[in-house]
Amino acid sequence: MKKIIVFILISCFVLSITGCGKNDIHAISIVVPAGSTGTFIYSDEEISPTGRKITISTDDDLPETEVILKTIEVQEETAYLPETLLPGTPITMDVEKGAWFKVGVSLQNDTNADKTVTLEIKGIETRIE
């Protein structure tokens, strides 16, 4: 009987710990203005990596684009180069843990309306500037 009670208590403890996990996947939206010529457009939200790597992905509707990180608050001065993001294929970037960045995309928008692009980024926290 004691073994059953101990097993139940341990199970409850393990389940409560796993249920308290931090959600580190965020959808970041970037508005590409009408008439944009492919210069980098940055998110309003700032991101901070929770580890040394982040993974960026998007849905299959977004054409091939370049993604870049713009440093806001960093300890180490590192140049972050653009990476090509293909539809349905995530990219992983090495980053400084705890630093703050804005995410930029390079897309043309030759329409008369603004276009919203959504990136899903894993391994981050966010804040609004």
The CATH code of the domain that includes 81 is 2.60.120
pTM of the model: 0.78
**Closest Cα to residue 127, out of 7, 19, 26, 20?**
26
In a domain, 118, yes or no: yes
CA distance linking residue 53 with residue 43, whole number of Å: 19
97 within a domain of the structure (yes/no) = yes
Range of the domain at 84: 23-128
Task: Specify if 11 maps to a domain.
Answer: no
Residue 62 is classified by DSSP as S
Residue 108 CB partners (closer than 8 Å, separation 6+): 36, 37, 38
pLDDT digits (tens, 9 = 90+) for 81-125: 999 999 889 999 999 999 999 999 999 998 999 999 999 999 999
> In the chain, how many domains are there?
1
pLDDT one-digit tens code per residue, 39-95:
999 999 999 999 999 999 997 778 889 999 999 999 988 889 999 999 889 999 999
Q: Is residue 101 a part of any domain in this protein?
A: yes
- Is 2 among the domain residues? no
Whether residue 7 is contained in a domain is answered as no
Phi, psi at residue 74, to the nearest 5°? -140, 155
Contact 70, 106 (CB under 8 A): no
Integer Cα distance of 88 and 104 in angstroms: 18
Alpha carbons 43 and 31: distance in angstroms, whole number: 8
Is 15 a domain residue?
no
Q: What is the pLDDT of residue 19?
A: 45
